[in-house]
Amino acid sequence: MIWFFLAQAASKSPDEIEDIRPPINGPPSFWLVVILATLLLVAVVAYFLWPNPKPKTVLPPLPKEVARRRLQAVKSRISTDSGYDFSIEVSDILRSFIEQQFGLRAVRQTTIEFLNEAASNPQFDLAQKERLRHFLVACDAIKFARVPTGTPDSEGLFEQASSFVEEAK
C-alpha cells in the first residue's frame, strides 16, 4: 500500500498544483447555537408572561365569627335538645370563644379556676366578669346539680352567650 502512494506521488510532476477542494461540511454549530438561544429566549419570555396563579392566603376566621356560626347552629335546637345538653353546648361555645379571643384557658378549667383567672385579667370589665360568672354558674347548676330547665331557660342562656360574644372586644 505504501508503494502505491509513493508511485502516485512520483508520477505527478512537482509543478502541478492540486485543485481546490470543496468546503468541508462540519457540524452545524452556528445554527445549533441560534436555535438553542431562541428556545431559551422563548422559555424566559413564557416564564414571565405565563399566568401564574398565586395561592390565595386564606385567613382563618376570627374567634367571634366562629362563635357566631356555632351559636346560630345551636339556636335551632333550643326547643328540641334537653336543657342539660343545650347548656353544655352553649357553655362550650362561650368557653372556646374566650380561650381563642382572649388567650385564657377556659375550656379545661373549672368555673372557679376560670373566674379567678378572669378576675385578674384586664381585658374584662366588671360588668362582663359579672355576666360571665352568672352565665357559668347557671350552666354549672344545670350540668352538675341537674336543675330542671325548660325552653325559656335555654333561650336565656343562648341570649347571654350571644350578647357576651357580640360585646367582646
Cβ-count burial of 142 within 10 angstroms (0-12 exposed, 13-18 middle, 19+ buried)? Answer: buried
- Domains of the chain, by residue range, sit at 63-167
Whole-number Cα distances in Å, 144 to 4, 80, 154: 120, 21, 16
If one compares 59 and 25, the residue with the highest pLDDT of the two is: 59
pLDDT tens-digit map of 67-125: 999 999 999 888 888 888 999 999 999 999 999 998 888 888 888 898 888 888 888 88
Question: Which tens digits make up the pLDDT trace of 29-79?
Answer: 777 888 999 999 999 998 888 887 788 888 899 999 999 999 999 998 888
Residue 160's pLDDT is what?
93
Written as nine digits, the cell of 84 is 342539660
pTM: 0.65
pLDDT, residue 19, reads 79
In degrees and rounded to multiples of 5, residue 60 shows phi and psi of -65, 150
The answer to whether the beta carbons of residues 70 and 93 sit under 8 Å apart is: yes
